[in-house]
Structure 1
Amino acid sequence: MKIEDILGKFSILGSNQNESKETYKGELTLSLDDKNRIVAKWLINKSQEQFGIGFFNKNILVINFNYQGDENSVYYGTVVYKCISKDILEGFWSEEFGNPKFLGTENCFRIKDSKTVLN
């Protein structure tokens, strides 16, 4: 796979980095910057935006991300996706203040038309 193969929009299903593993849904958009790095933007549960920069090598995508929390603090983390195909990404993530005993998970499915989006 080439880096260009994974660009586009994905529906996501994820679970949080805690014991109860609360689930969430959203959308992930992957594009490239002028240095050929991955630019990621998540929209989680239709309300929370997250942003990241990453790199792609041997069908593995690694993104360092950040987002602004409810109390206006900025949180940082890293997500690693195994690119199963250009349409399916399987990942895990951790953020700085998450429970270190657990990893969050995130599975991404390419949006091919408007009927694919998860609500």
Structure 2
Amino acid sequence: MTIKELPGIYNIIGSNQDENGIAYKGTLELALDEYNRINAKWVINKNQEQLGTGFFKDNILVINFNYKGDDELIYKGVVVYKCFNKDVLDGFWSEKHGNPLYLGEERCFRLGTQKELIN
């Protein structure tokens, strides 16, 4: 797989970095900048926007992300995705001030794929 195959929009399902692993849904949009770096934009539960930048090697995508919380503070973290193919990404993530005993999890399905239509 190459970095040029990653850009697109994905539906995501995930669970938060806490004891209960509260589920969420959203979208992830991946794009490349002029230097072939990854730009990411998540929209979680239709209202929370998160932005990130990252890099890709050996079918592993790593993105540093940040967002403004309801308390107006900026939260930062990192997500690591294993890219099974250009349509399915499986990842885990952690925020700087999240519960260090847990990792968040996220699975992404490219819009328009059969798996995405089933979910």
Same topology, TM > 0.5: yes
Partner AA of 1:3 in structure 2:
I
CA deviation after TM superposition for structure 1 residue 6, in Å: 1.3
Q: How many pairs are equivalent?
A: 117
Q: Which position in structure 2 is the counterpart of 1:72?
A: 72
- Is 1:45–2:71 an aligned residue pair? no
Distance 1:112 1:33 in 2: 23
Whether the aligned pair in 2 keeps the contact of 1:11 and 1:117 (CA below 8 Å) is: no
Gaps of at least 5 residues in structure 2 are none
Q: TM-score under structure 1 normalisation?
A: 0.94
Distance 1:20 1:87, change over 3 A: same
Shift of 1:35: 1.5
Could you tell me the percent identity over the aligned residues? 57
Match of 1:100 in 2: 100
**When the two structures are superposed, what TM-score results if normalisation uses the length of structure 2?**
0.94
Question: What RMSD over aligned residues (CA atoms) do the two structures have, in Å?
Answer: 1.5
Deviations 1:10-37 (A, max 9, x none): 0000000000000000000000111110
Structure 1 segments, 4+ long, off by >6 Å, are none
Unmatched runs of 5 consecutive residues or more in structure 1: none
Letter of the structure 1 residue corresponding to residue 98 of structure 2: G
Q: Which residue matches 1:27? A: 27
Contact 1:11–1:116 at 8 Å: present in 2 too?
A: no
Alpha-carbon distance in 2 for matches of 1:15, 1:70:
18
